[in-house]
Structures are given as C-alpha cells and as structure tokens.
Amino acid sequence: MMALTQAAIPTPPLNAPLGIALLTVFSFVSIVLFFLNEKYLAKDPLMDTSIFLNIKYDIAIIATTAAGFTRSNITYGLIFFFQGPCGDDPLTAGYKLIPYGIGVILTGFISGFISDKIGVRKPAVAGPIISCFGCLGLALVTRDTNFWLNAFAQFVAGLGLGTFLFIHSFLINNPCFFSQASSTAPVALPSCSLSLPSTAASRLPSASSYPCSS
C-alpha cells in the first residue's frame, strides 16, 4: 500500500523509482516470510493458513478485492473528477456522491431478505453485473455531461454493490469454521483496502489532464 500510495501521491524521497521498487519487493518478501513463519515455525500462529486451502474462501477473497476496486473507482475517481475537471469544492463533491450512497443503502437492506428467499448465488452474480452497467455509464461521463445522468449511473452502480454487500459477508465467513474467524477477517480487510491507493494511482493522471473550470 505504501508503494502504491507513493506512485499516486509522491512524497520524497520514497517516490523515486528505486524507492517504490524497494517498497514493493520488501512487501512481497515480508508476506512470504510471514506465511512461512505461521505455517512452519510459530508454535501459536496468529493466522490459520489452512483457510487458503478452502477454494470457496479463496474465491470470496478475489470477489472482495474486485468489489473493492469497483467501489474505489467510483468514490476516488469521482471525487477527483468533481474537484478537478468540474471545479467543485470538496463539500460539493461529497454531495454529488449521494446518489451512489442511496443505491447502496436501498439494496443493502434487502439483499439479505432476497438471499433467504432465492439463495446467495443469483444475487452474488447479479450484483456485480448491475455495478458493471453503472460503471460503464460513469466511464462515458465528461465534464459537460448533465449531472443527473451522472447521478443515475452512480445510483445503478450503488444498487449493484449494495446487492453484493450482504453476499460478500456471507461468502467470507460461511465457508470457514467459527474457530477460524480471527484469521478470515484480517485477510478480507487488506484485500479490499489494497484497491484504494492503486485506484488513486490509476485515476489521478486522467483527472489532472483536464483543465479545471473556474
């Protein structure tokens, strides 16, 4: 996360190519050493590494990461877009994200009820598909696009993500034994949080390439 953040928002001296490369290599080496220690050396390990032998859990983590990228692209990308090309102040930019939040809240409340009636498989597939349509609409938005079209695309993306929220929690925790909960939760959070700086790194250049309106 430090390496990705430095790539997005440079802070000397870590923003040098060598500094970013060293942070990246150090991160991967640290992760490998941590898992080797937990698996073979620790007498009382912090994490039960056997959770990764559960294919359902592995798929759930991949889905969590993908959902994190979707959410971060909307929140990060639009905040930069509204304050950059559109020239809005931070408070106004926040207000303009309300349609997305409404969509998430609306389907977030009923996703559990729907899953109880028809199972988790269909909502788990439908949620990301709906979000894709919303994100496709947001990809076509420019500075001159009517805000209500932007808001509708946000709302659709929020509906899809809200549908997936309950399913995400179910998939992360259900495949694992209760005794492994202390291991499953810490893995899910970084997989989602990792998308934040990487999204900023990918979106900042495109946002700054537009002239800001006065």
pLDDT at 62: 78
Distance CA 103, CA 99 (A): 6
Confidence label for 209 from pLDDT (cuts 50, 70 and 90): very low
Q: Which two tokens stand for residue 35?
A: 């898992």
pLDDT at 210 over 60: no
Q: What is the mean pLDDT of the chain?
A: 74
pLDDT in tens, 123-172: 878 888 898 899 889 888 888 889 999 999 999 998 988 887 766 666 66
pLDDT at 154: 92
Work out the average pLDDT over 6-24. 69
User: Whole-model pTM?
Assistant: 0.64
Domain residue extents for the chain: 1-46, 48-205
- Phi/psi for 3 (5° steps) reads -65, -45
pLDDT at 191 over 90: no
Distance CA 27, CA 24 (A): 5
pLDDT in tens, 59-84: 777 777 777 776 777 777 888 888 88
Distance CA 51, CA 189 (A): 15
Confidence label for 15 from pLDDT (cuts 50, 70 and 90): low
* R_g (Cα) of the chain, nearest Å: 20
pLDDT at 18 over 50: yes
Confidence label for 97 from pLDDT (cuts 50, 70 and 90): very high
Instruction: Report the topology of domain 48-205.
Output: Growth Hormone; Chain: A; (1.20.1250)
pLDDT at 213: 40
pLDDT at 204: 40
Confidence label for 112 from pLDDT (cuts 50, 70 and 90): confident
pLDDT at 203: 42
Most confident region among 56-65, 86-95, 198-207 by mean pLDDT: 86-95
